[in-house]
Amino acid sequence: MGGRRLPGKLIVRYILVALTLWAGACAAQPRYGLSAPAYEVFARWMATTCIGDEAERWNAMLLRHRAELAPAFTRALADGPPEDLVARTRRAADVRYAAIVTARPVEVRVEGLTVRSIARPVRQSYVDREAARFVDGYRSNAIAGLAIVGGPDARATLRRLADRPNGPLAAAAAEALKTMAVR
């Protein structure tokens, strides 16, 4: 047939480039397959620590993407935060630990703790506690999101969590159920 054949190494390179481009496109997909606008709202909500005066604006943003966000919040509740966020939290906690143990006790002020209780925490236990608090906070945000956008399935999920009196998410789930009862 007269056509030129590509050398084997060149074919392999083309395949590797194509696979790299494909993998990059897959990795760039927002979490849980959300559309870009819904993912932006999701990511901001999951990183928020307080909505305060912006509650009405947040409700409107979440409800605008309700169909996508309800399953995403359910999965985020089950999955927890992405590993890279937990790793970043651990690194930040490790830096805070170093600052705490090298600071003079009068320089260290942590709400709800005495200087003596934090003056020399065990490094790994401190980092682990901070990471666990971050994971619980992330899941609590998913619970709060479900309270706004979720339906009967979300209510059942939240009821199960609220019924675990010693569970770390019980209070957040109970509060979310109260919010759902109002709407």
Binning pLDDT at 50, 70 and 90, where does residue 110 land? low
Q: Which token pair is 45? A: 């909500």
Q: Is residue 2 part of a domain?
A: no
Q: Is residue 12 part of a domain?
A: no
Dihedral angle over CA of 160, 63, 49, 178, nearest 10: -40
Q: Who wins on pLDDT, 36 or 16?
A: 36
The predicted pLDDT at position 165 comes to 85
Residues 150, 69 contacting (CB under 8 angstroms): no
- Quote the pTM value: 0.74
The predicted pLDDT at position 86 comes to 96
Structural domain boundaries enclosing 96: 34-182
Q: Which of left, alpha, beta for 52 (phi over 0: left; psi -120 to 50: alpha)? A: left
The predicted pLDDT at position 9 comes to 47
Q: Which of 76-80, 87-91, 120-124 has the lowest average pLDDT?
A: 120-124
Structurally, the chain folds into a number of domains equal to 1
Q: Is residue 25 part of a domain?
A: no
Q: Is residue 126 part of a domain?
A: yes
Q: Is residue 3 part of a domain?
A: no
Q: For residues 168-172, give the mean pLDDT.
A: 95
Q: For residues 57-86, give the mean pLDDT.
A: 95
Q: Which token pair is 79? A: 């999955």
Q: Is residue 170 part of a domain?
A: yes
Q: Is residue 85 part of a domain?
A: yes
Q: Is residue 29 part of a domain?
A: no
Residue 168 has pLDDT above 90, yes or no: yes
From residue 58, how far is each of 52, 96, 109 by CA, in Å? 10, 31, 32
Q: For residues 134-143, give the mean pLDDT.
A: 96
Q: Which of 8-12, 60-64, 178-182 has the lowest average pLDDT?
A: 8-12
Contacts 24+ apart (CB under 8 A), 54-58: 58/148
